[in-house]
Chain A
């Protein structure tokens, strides 16, 4: 399974030493967690939202200290929270680059040239699947079906899907991303935390503003 996005091999890493306690949850983060936890009959159910908050507060990846702080905030054990964090592919238990390029290579994308795009990126960026460029700018992953198959090939970067990619237009997008601050792993986590909060469509979050929620006119897949 060396081609998988998130990979079981990553989660089979060496056992981490006991985390040095950190407290990076801001007062606002605790308030957000308390509000979201109120949506459920028990606090444990807020584990997924809490990990999204942690991923944002810790700059885009979940260190062992992040998992410990999440466990403390929820009143759960470290093992329980780590078990959840390592199950889901979007929680980064290893650090990612400033842009996490997740190219969908599942069926419809695969037959529409997704592997050519992966190979182009590997060649141009000089990294393999699962690796990060030395400058920390890009991490390249293969994603399982992102379910936007009509616009194959698809790539997710942060909280955005880019569609209809080809080997011709992919490097132009990469240049745009280099100049952009909008699609980082922390911004993705911030968007998701905001989506979980009632009323946030008025205030925005992540790389979203209320204006960006206006849909473009005309057909859109």
Chain B
């Protein structure tokens, strides 16, 4: 089992939140090295490392960095997407709590490489505790001369870093919606490439903008400090380095595990202490937006972009949820669809209406009102959402349902035919003291 703590190397060092301890452990070495390099050489180093975006999409990082104009004539912005919201993911939370200096370092390097003078860290409003650590890291970095004017004595290298707090919206983790929110608007997504320019050409305030995830900036800092060759030698051909996987659900030791790309999925379950409360039934490897994989199909999957993609799921953001055999997949999908119905921003009709219909149909089925043809109806609604909205939220609402029907169709059929859960004792409980009317219906259906 390849647990490799690159980004998490110092996560349990006492006092690591203080800059003197952080510097003593090699954080900020990357900035000192970067400012001695040509800006293009920094981008080339990221390219050589093979780093891909860690927020979920896996887009090659260097292409974004290389896409901004290479001069200071107009303002550019560097944005960190710390609006971690994907169900099952909590890696950015831990990175900000314990490795805030690593994040600040990565963003300073990005500011240098992309001729940007201002950076924003967009942190979800709920993450007050991690945000305080980032505040502390920024304040200390200013004092130590890593932020501000003429950083580390480099004439003309100015970089200011600000925190922008969200206020409760999953949608704002989508980059175009995040830009709307940063500009003080509702978090609605914007028209995207190829219908509109890329953010690197026209992002916030119509200026060239770089947006990366927390983990991506942390990895970029590591790569500059330790050399791209040391990063690129890890992982698989097209997925380099490490990935932090947030393990949760029915698992003995839930935690963030930083693993080498290409690690067999089942090894991670073993490393995390195995399944609790029953046998292994299914895994969602990359956050609630990706397809659920039944236990008997997990064997060939490795934790990298290609292997997950080839096996009908996605590595996504690394929100790795494990479910035991007492879990009712239909109830799980009902809860998933409720999430997307709540979080749909309402801009695009297929997503706004479709996510609610998915929830209503699944709620009806799990309340004992399932009808013949409901499965086809669900698939029909899914196919009318998928690919028909501005951003990926609609797709993300459809994929897990389609995946679950493909993998667990008999469970849906059982619910529709017998009006009760196929696994009897459900992990999503109807409790004897139900007050909530929605759950009351579900409880009645369980009889």
A12-20, A21-29, A83-91, A170-178: which lies at the interface: A83-91
Chain B minimum-CB-distance residue to A214: B17
Interface residues of A (CB under 8 A from B): 1-6, 39-42, 44-49, 51-52, 74, 83-84, 87-91, 105-108, 110-113, 115-116, 118-120, 122-123, 128-129, 144-152, 156, 159-161, 188, 191-192, 194-196, 198-202, 206, 208, 213-215, 217-221
B439 touches A221 (CB 8 A): no
Q: CA of A120 to CA of B429 in the docked complex: distance in angstroms?
A: 12
> CB-nearest residue of chain A relative to B432?
A119
* B166 close to A150 (CB less than 8 A): no
Instruction: Please determine whether B128 and A192 come into contact, CB atoms closer than 8 angstroms.
Output: yes
Interface residues of B (CB under 8 A from A): 12, 14-17, 75, 84-90, 92-94, 97-98, 120, 124-129, 131-136, 138-140, 142, 160, 162-170, 181-187, 205, 246-250, 254-256, 284, 288, 319, 321, 323, 327, 332, 335-336, 338-339, 341-343, 345, 356, 359, 427-429, 431, 433-439
| Given known A-B contacts A119-B435, A195-B163, A46 and B125 have beta carbons under 8 A apart | no
Which residues in B have their C-beta under 8 angstroms from that of A151?
254
In contact, A107 and B168 (Cβ under 8 angstroms)? no
User: Closest residue of chain A to B323, judged by CB?
Assistant: A111
Per the bound structure, the CA–CA distance linking A11 and B379 in Å amounts to 31
- Given A108-B87, A192-B165, A215-B17 in contact, is the A115-B132 Cβ separation under 8 Å? no
Shortest Cβ gap from A7 to chain B (Å): 8
Judge whether A145 and B86 touch: CB under 8 Å.
yes
Q: A47-B185, A215-B133, A219-B12 are in contact. Are A108 and B165 (CB under 8 A)?
A: no
Cβ-closest 6 pairs across A and B? A47-B184, A89-B168, A88-B167, A149-B248, A90-B168, A201-B136
Q: State the CA gap A208–B136 with chains docked (Å).
A: 12
A149 in complex: contacting residue of B89, B187, B205, CB < 8 Å = B89
Chain B's closest residue to A88 (CB) is: B167
Contact partner of A129 (CB less than 8 A), chosen from B124, B163, B436, is B436
C-alpha spacing A43/B32, complex, angstroms = 34
Asked if A48 and B166 make an inter-chain contact with CB atoms under 8 angstroms apart, the answer reads yes
Establish whether residues A1 and B342, one from each chain, have CB atoms under 8 Å apart when the complex forms.
Answer: yes
Chain A residues contacting B319 (CB-CB under 8 Å) are 149
Q: How far is the CA of A23 from the CA of B353 in the complex (A)?
A: 40
Docked-complex contact B431 and A213, CB < 8 angstroms:
no
Query: B185 near A52 (CB under 8 angstroms)?
Result: no
- Whether B87 and A107, one on each chain, are in contact in the complex, defined by CB atoms closer than 8 angstroms, is yes
- Contacts A47-B184, A105-B335, A221-B94; A119 near B12 (Cβ below 8 A): no
Q: Is the CB of A88 within 8 A of B169?
A: yes
Residue in B14, B16, B183, B248 whose Cβ sees the most chain A Cβ within 10 Å:
B248
Tell me which residues across on chain B come within 8 A of A191, comparing CB atoms.
128, 132
A42-B183, A160-B128, A202-B139 given; name 17 further pairs at CB < 8 Å.
A1-B356, A1-B359, A3-B438, A6-B168, A87-B186, A88-B168, A88-B169, A107-B88, A108-B254, A111-B323, A147-B127, A149-B90, A150-B254, A159-B128, A195-B128, A201-B139, A220-B98
Is there an interface contact between A2 and B438, defined as CB atoms closer than 8 Å?
yes
Q: When the two chains form their complex, are residues B436 and A42 in contact, meaning their CB atoms are under 8 A apart?
A: no
